[in-house]
Amino acid sequence: MGLNRNQKHKIRKTKQTKKMKMEQKKQYNLEERTLRFAAPIRQFVRSLPKTLINFEDAKDAKQLIRSSGSVGANYIEANESISKRECLFSVLKW
């Protein structure tokens, strides 16, 4: 015979609890990861040859550097926000 309604609910709730505990154990280290994202991009831009074409595209290179660093800046700002809701809004709006 099948499980009754209460038993199904208990099984489902147990699975959800285990999943939540696993998610709580994960550490994302987003500050560190965003820094590791921005650093190679800056190194790449510095490694580009200094040619006339690259001087004309300097605005694009500067924008690439700024945008690579803004990911981390936005995360830090959201992380230092006042409430959990404000933090979530700040992360999701970008």
* Confidence (pLDDT) at 39: 92
Instruction: Domain of residue 71: give its range.
Output: 30-93
- Please tell me the total count of domains within the chain: 1
10, part of any domain: no
pLDDT band with cut points at 50, 70 and 90 for residue 82: low
In a domain, 72, yes or no: yes
Asked if residue 49 belongs to a domain, the reply is: yes
36 Cβ partners below 8 Å, 6+ apart?
Answer: none
SS3 assignment for the chain: CCCCHHHHHHHHHHHHHHHHHHHHHCCCCHHHHHHHHHHHHHHHHHHCCCCHHHHHCHHHHHHHHHHHHHHHHHHHHHHCCCCHHHHHHHHHHC
pTM given for the model: 0.51
Residue 78 domain-assigned (yes or no): yes
1 lies in a domain? no
Output the pLDDT for position 26: 57
